[in-house]
Amino acid sequence: MRMPTTDQLKRRFLVSVLSDTLRKVSSKRHEFLLTMVCDLGFLASLVLLNSMMTRLLPNPASMIVGPWTKFFIALCAAIVYLTSGLLSYSFFKLVILNLIRKIFGAKLSDLSPFLGLLLLNSKIFLVYSALFLLFSAMFVFAVRVELLVSVRTFFIVLTAILLYLSINIGHSLFMQNRTKKIISTTFEISFRQTRRYLGLIAFTIITFFVLAAAYYVFDWTLLHILGRSISVPWVNTAYSFLNTVIIASAAIGLVAFNRVYFYNIILRMHGTKYD
């Protein structure tokens, strides 16, 4: 079997989804950066929500009430927190998806699809919540608990990956107006058409290790330059802040790019055209 030549590899890359996504992001840098700003806005909303919940809701553990009352208060607090978080996530994600549509040449739409996206997010959340509850029940009632303990981490990581795939695929289908049987289509692509996004997974893994290596070299060099001055309080604070900014920017940037990559994959699968 003959190995492909350099020119053949170059031509394959230029027509690949990755290359097309890179060109789209490069030509619409403003919209892409705005999606990252929306990510920061969502994280800020979670911090604000957590602060408000801590201030407004009583701590059941500090209340002199019965165990069932404590459970009811904790349950109500969890429902309020999850509902508020889901509303915030759906709002920011709709803005992000609109910006991604613009990256691919579509006109910005209004926020009228918000309820539909909220319903989709709720369905996905319920499906994966059911998976966690099923595993929890197995954990409680299993005879060989040590076996479940050994696979718990694997199960959680696998579920998180599948949730990530389902969210990106489902949202891409939703914004391309392919809402008929969207849940079944989302899971069909996630589980039965993995070859469609193997390139994205490979890109993510390679990019992660490249960024991690670059950060390690940068951090080692910076510490070498700072030397003993790292023990000075303001220097240490500035160093910690810089590290936080670099890691957060790299993580948010990779997540933001992958969203556009996912959208392009689904776009090519269904051939959606925009006016």
67: containing domain: 28-112
Say how far apart CA 18 and CA 104 lie, in whole Å.
14
Say how far apart CA 168 and CA 171 lie, in whole Å.
5
- The more confidently predicted of residues 31 and 271 is 31
Regarding whether 200 and 219 lie in a shared domain, the answer is yes
In a domain, 11, yes or no: no
Say how far apart CA 103 and CA 9 lie, in whole Å.
26
In a domain, 221, yes or no: yes
Query: For residue 209, which phi and psi values (nearest 5 degrees)?
Result: -70, -35
Question: What is the pLDDT, as a whole number, of residue 103?
Answer: 92
Residue where one domain finishes, among candidates 177, 192, 207: 192
In a domain, 14, yes or no: no
Regarding whether 201 and 175 lie in a shared domain, the answer is no
In a domain, 10, yes or no: no
Regarding whether 47 and 100 lie in a shared domain, the answer is yes
Regarding whether 254 and 221 lie in a shared domain, the answer is yes
Regarding whether 201 and 187 lie in a shared domain, the answer is no
Regarding whether 148 and 175 lie in a shared domain, the answer is yes
In a domain, 158, yes or no: yes
pLDDT confidence band for 14 (50 / 70 / 90):
very low
In a domain, 20, yes or no: no
Regarding whether 247 and 185 lie in a shared domain, the answer is no
In a domain, 8, yes or no: no
Question: What is the pLDDT, as a whole number, of residue 34?
Answer: 95
Distances (CA, A) of 257 to 33, 96, 152, 162, 199: 10, 12, 30, 18, 14
- The more confidently predicted of residues 29 and 273 is 29
Mean pLDDT across 7-21: 65
Regarding whether 202 and 175 lie in a shared domain, the answer is no
Percent of the chain with pLDDT over 90: 36
Residue type, 10: K
In a domain, 13, yes or no: no
Q: What does pTM read for this prediction?
A: 0.83
Q: Copy the structure tokens of residue 78.
A: 């969890």
Residue 90 has pLDDT above 70, yes or no: yes
Regarding whether 275 and 206 lie in a shared domain, the answer is yes
- The more confidently predicted of residues 168 and 197 is 168
Residue type, 153: T
Regarding whether 164 and 213 lie in a shared domain, the answer is no
Question: What is the pLDDT, as a whole number, of residue 274?
Answer: 45
Say how far apart CA 260 and CA 190 lie, in whole Å.
17
pLDDT in tens, 154-183: 778 888 888 898 999 999 988 887 667 888
Burial 71-88 (b: 16+ CB within 10 A, else e): eebeeebeeebeebbeeb
Regarding whether 154 and 90 lie in a shared domain, the answer is no
The domain tally of the chain equals 3
Q: How high is the mean pLDDT of the chain?
A: 83
Give residue for tokens 């997974």: 201
Residue 273 has pLDDT above 80, yes or no: no
Residue 123 has pLDDT above 80, yes or no: yes
Say how far apart CA 138 and CA 130 lie, in whole Å.
12
Burial 32-55 (b: 16+ CB within 10 A, else e): bebbbebbeebeebeeebeeeeee
Residue where one domain finishes, among candidates 192, 211, 227: 192
Distances (CA, A) of 108 to 23, 100, 175, 188: 20, 9, 11, 29
Report whether 127 contacts 163 (CB < 8 A).
Answer: no
Regarding whether 128 and 185 lie in a shared domain, the answer is yes
Residue where one domain finishes, among candidates 96, 112, 128: 112
Mean pLDDT across 134-148: 67
**What three-state secondary structure class fits 143?**
coil
- Greatest mean pLDDT among 7-11, 174-178, 232-236: 232-236
pLDDT confidence band for 9 (50 / 70 / 90):
very low
Report whether 197 contacts 165 (CB < 8 A).
Answer: yes
